[in-house]
Structure 1
Amino acid sequence: MLRTGQQYRDSLRDGRQVWMNGERIPDVTVHPMLKPIVDIRARLYDMQHDPAHADILTYRSESGEPSSIPLKLPRTQADWQAKRVATDHVLNEIGGIVTRVGDETIGEMWSLFDGQDILNQVDPRFSANIRNHVEKAILTDPFHVSANTDPKGDRSKRPQDQDPDMLLHVVKETDAGIVVRGAKYETAAAYANQAFTKPTIANWGDAELSDYAVGFICDFGSPNLKFICRTGFAGRAPIEDYPLSNRFDEVECLVIFDDVLIPWENVLFYRHTKAATFIRATLHRYSAFAFVQRNLKLADMLIGAALFNARQTGLDKQQAVQEKLAQLACYREGINAHLTAAIVTAQESPGGLLMPNQSLLMTGRVFACSQLHEMMHIARELCGGQICVTPDVAAFRDPETAPWLKKFYSINENWEAEDRRKLLAFARDLLNSDYAGHRLTFQLFAQSPPFAHLAAVYRNFNWDEPLDFVRKSAGLNERVTGKAPLMKAAE
């Protein structure tokens, strides 16, 4: 049931209404700012059919059909190891990082799969729906993304006290399903097939029911959807000058739900705030793993760019340079350690799946995101000022200026001007370009803002062990545990 790249491209020609720069895009697969990332997603589909990659990216399902390893429900440590190997293989093969290609968002549905007991309390149909959609994802191999963030409006007011459309909500029920109105910011939506759409924050106070507490699978071919994209980075300058911007820009857009019908079979929860609260608290139980793993690959890119720049001039022999390189290595291995330990000490989930150790995974996410800007600055220092002053490729190829640039950018027989130009262009795009700044902000907020990252650590860390140790060491009364108030605060 694995799709091909062409089948994926064809699935996007469904009449969707997409805009960028004030112009309607008739076909996202050929638009110059969308085509590069569409081509990468199509290539990932084709790799699953290629004998050179199939053994790493696919497995045989219970029905005997070849299926995608990233979409497989994780039940064993071997499943997680296979997912990790598959992600590394894909990123190595394409030569860069893509953050929204499906395997890092499908895990959000697994979190709701774990919440079937809660869904059954609300409506048994919703429990069946999530099981069906998890199975459907395995069978049909869609490009599945995530929809979280609303425009929000004035956050000092309830949504009902301002334009209610600032937060996505249900406007009516029909025999066919619910009709929703509002908007969501979504990465990759313009060239994806579907999204798990849910509330971004709990805006319902103490209410048990709310029209804003709704979660569903949105088919992006649905009528009355509109996609308003930000300007892409691809095509602004030659690929030789900006090799990352031109290949790996994952365009975000504001998705407008203009009275969109969501069939009942696609509704995963509705009105019951308990279900909405559960999914917000557990949303990244699985998906954080792939997200953090991509930060590991970004750390490798920082190290590689910095180390090449240091070695080409012999600066890697200086102790001060080695110390900064060691800081980058500590950052990289810190992420690696959290991911490795999260699998080794994985825990059984309420739904019978195997989830990475939640405390280690969530602390790993904080570690990776909170230090990224510092690591990028260290890499800038090690690369030196030439990444911001080097002329563009056209100057290296112009007959009048090329000889001068060849003279001053050649270092030795191993580092000629063209290789040095390529490295500096790569480092500039990784660290200094519009794309680099965008990615830094994206990594900070892509799964949730920093305070939510820390809240996830608070909910999942085992506070009892340090409390028990201090209670015994200080000779405190056994009744003094602190468990009750701590649990209350966590809730």
Structure 2
Amino acid sequence: MPARTGEQFLKGLADGREIWVGNEKVSDVTDHPAFAGAARGLAGTFDLQYEHADDCLMPDPETGEKINVSHMIPRSKADLMQRHKGLQRAAEYTVGVMGRTPDYMNVTYAGFAGRPDEWGANGNERGAENLVNYQKFLRRNDISLTHTIIQPTVDKAEGDAPKPGNTVSLRKVGESEHGIIVRGARILATLAPFADELAVYPGAPLLPGTDDYALAFCIPMNTPGLKFICRDSCAGSLNSFDHPLSSRFDEQDAFVIFDDVEVPWDRVHINCNMDVYNQVMWTGWFPNIMQQTMIRAQTKLEFAWGLATRMAESINSVQPGTAQMLGEIWTFAELARSAVQAAEDNAHDHGNGVWFPQGAPLVALRASLPYWFPRVNEIIRLVGSHNLLAAPTAAQFADPKLRPLIEEFMHGAGDVSAETRARIFRLAWDFSGSALASRNEQYERFYLASGARNQQLAHRLGERARADRLVDRFMTEPYSDADISGGAAKKSKKVGQAA
């Protein structure tokens, strides 16, 4: 089938999945107050495909039906630039607030399917074939896919990887005629209430002797035994005036429990193959997926700069300190844009004829964002000051007695009306200070690992040839007589004596 509409996406969510929020098992995520706004918001990304078809859609290479460009397996730099347009459209729709729009996993699995040679190594040919077939299913049915790849934290002193005998982490516990049986838990399935299917694949290398934990597969959200325990909702309400972002973009996060879940054989991509599990994510995955996630991040930073600037203008804040902070956000946005462009301009064949962006600029950006985004929120709150807490609601504007007073006393500088000022500051608060803002800041700090881990990774991955050459120049110079005798110091002393 061709790319879906928003209405088709929403209908697909009524599948009997087991979603819990608070003490409530939710029967319909499209109607529940914790989820309805985000369900409609995400539906907009599906409608977007048709509103901007030239950027967002492409023909399936085998069937010719229109599919989202994020499913593309790039074979050239031109392909990456075409994909960039579609990814940017999705990022602009959510202004980067939703980190797990379906294009994230679409790009991930297109990258996986482009390298079946890696997934099929060490005797995993059947798993690789299943993965390639799954990617065709994913793109042809326009599936909304989420993932859960991190091992649950029980005792940090034990390390992040499960040790043999761990009964909490997801593992294979048996086989049936139809597939493998898995039990345990994984975190953190962002977008879980709004996904059609769930993916499990490597998040970090495993320890020797833990082959049963080396799994990769994809299954429907309503698979028997799957249970999703959601965090508290950050959806303020469905009121887009009062909560312009949290009313539509709370993508949710869920702890996933696999209670003896059967995974069909044709959905298994790694079946206790430690060699493949520990290697497959260390080559093309990160430069491929980071095109999507860094376009999203750059869009979010540019939105933040525009929002903070509009906020300052609405109250005529022209102090040098304000301009400096606004320039700081612009610097983050421009460095992000430049990094993405450099990575795309230097794209190359990563093997098997698949083209991904250059990794180094994206690694540097990945290591910087966990520090930039909290600072952006701080700047917006500093520029906004008390004004962020003095923005009337839609109901207050609608009150015939209150509105004249609000318009008299709560307008902005110059010709900025009270309603315009309120919209600006409510948007700024929802972005930087609300429950959604707090969740998103935590997300940005950790969703691609912490800043500290990424800086360590950047150091290990850095190309040292030129840096070493610059240093070696000073390591190989021969000693001179002056170096040995301290001639320069003696000469200085003689000059002083003559004076």
- Does the 8 Å CA contact 1:145/1:188 hold for their aligned counterparts? yes
Distance in 2 (CA, whole Å) between partners of 1:225 and 1:327 is 45
Shifted more, 123-132 versus 406-415: the winner is 406-415
Overall identity of the aligned pairs, in % = 24
Q: 1:475 to 1:413 in 2, by over 3 A?
A: closer
Match of 2:493 in 1: none
Match of 1:59 in 2: 58
TM-score (norm 2): 0.87
1:462-481 superposed matches below 5 A: 462-472=463-473, 474-475=475-476
1:29-428 superposed matches below 5 A: 29-48=30-49, 50=50, 52-62=51-61, 63-93=63-93, 97-113=97-113, 114=115, 116-117=117-118, 119-157=120-158, 159=162, 164-184=166-186, 185-204=188-207, 206-207=208-209, 210-236=211-237, 238-282=239-283, 283-316=285-318, 318-411=319-412, 414-428=415-429
- Does the 8 Å CA contact 1:170/1:180 hold for their aligned counterparts? yes
Distance in 1 (CA, whole Å) between partners of 2:250 and 2:376 is 21
- Does the 8 Å CA contact 2:95/2:299 hold for their aligned counterparts? no
Deviation at 1:239, TM superposition (A): 3.3
Give the residue type in structure 2 aligned to 1:306: A
Deviation at 1:393, TM superposition (A): 3.8
Q: Deviations over 1:300-353 (max 9, x none)?
A: 22212211122223323x433222221111111000000000000012112321
Give the residue type in structure 2 aligned to 1:106: N
Larger Cα-atom Rg: 2
Distance in 2 (CA, whole Å) between partners of 1:70 and 1:107 is 5
Deviation at 1:383, TM superposition (A): 2.4
Q: Deviations over 1:224-249 (max 9, x none)?
A: 11122222222458432221111111
Distance in 2 (CA, whole Å) between partners of 1:351 and 1:110 is 13
1:211 is paired with a residue whose SS is: helix
Give the residue type in structure 2 aligned to 1:288: M
Give the residue type in structure 2 aligned to 1:365: R
Deviation at 1:95, TM superposition (A): 5.8
Give the residue type in structure 1 aligned to 2:60: S
Q: 1:6 to 1:241 in 2, by over 3 A?
A: closer
Q: 1:411 to 1:10 in 2, by over 3 A?
A: closer
Give the residue type in structure 2 aligned to 1:80: L
Deviation at 1:451, TM superposition (A): 3.7
- Does the 8 Å CA contact 2:106/2:139 hold for their aligned counterparts? no
2:3 is paired with a residue whose SS is: coil
Deviation at 1:134, TM superposition (A): 2.3
Distance in 2 (CA, whole Å) between partners of 1:91 and 1:201 is 27
TM-score (norm 1): 0.89
Q: 1:451 to 1:218 in 2, by over 3 A?
A: farther
- Does the 8 Å CA contact 2:182/2:258 hold for their aligned counterparts? yes
Deviation at 1:470, TM superposition (A): 2.6
Shifted more, 272-281 versus 249-258: the winner is 272-281
- Does the 8 Å CA contact 1:104/1:288 hold for their aligned counterparts? no
Structure 1 stretches of 4+ moved >6 Å: none
1:257 is paired with a residue whose SS is: strand
Q: 1:343 to 1:161 in 2, by over 3 A?
A: closer
- Does the 8 Å CA contact 2:119/2:127 hold for their aligned counterparts? no
Q: 1:412 to 1:468 in 2, by over 3 A?
A: closer
Deviation at 1:471, TM superposition (A): 2.6
- Does the 8 Å CA contact 2:37/2:238 hold for their aligned counterparts? no
Match of 2:451 in 1: 450
Deviation at 1:459, TM superposition (A): 4.2
- Does the 8 Å CA contact 1:151/1:166 hold for their aligned counterparts? yes
Deviation at 1:150, TM superposition (A): 3.0
Shifted more, 438-447 versus 365-374: the winner is 365-374
2:25 is paired with a residue whose SS is: strand
- Does the 8 Å CA contact 2:60/2:67 hold for their aligned counterparts? yes
Gaps of 5+ in 2: 479-499
Deviation at 1:154, TM superposition (A): 2.0
Q: 1:201 to 1:377 in 2, by over 3 A?
A: same
Deviation at 1:263, TM superposition (A): 1.2
1:104 is paired with a residue whose SS is: helix
Deviation at 1:176, TM superposition (A): 1.6
Q: 1:6 to 1:251 in 2, by over 3 A?
A: same
2:103 is paired with a residue whose SS is: coil
- Does the 8 Å CA contact 1:152/1:167 hold for their aligned counterparts? no
Shifted more, 370-379 versus 193-202: the winner is 193-202
Q: Deviations over 1:417-468 (max 9, x none)?
A: 1111111111111111111111000111112233442344234321222113
Deviation at 1:94, TM superposition (A): 5.4
Distance in 1 (CA, whole Å) between partners of 2:192 and 2:390 is 36
1:244 is paired with a residue whose SS is: coil
1:38 is paired with a residue whose SS is: helix
- Does the 8 Å CA contact 1:305/1:383 hold for their aligned counterparts? no
Give the residue type in structure 2 aligned to 1:90: A
- Does the 8 Å CA contact 1:388/1:432 hold for their aligned counterparts? no
Q: 1:142 to 1:89 in 2, by over 3 A?
A: same
Give the residue type in structure 2 aligned to 1:58: L
Q: Deviations over 1:328-386 (max 9, x none)?
A: 11111000000000000012112321111111111111222322211221222222321
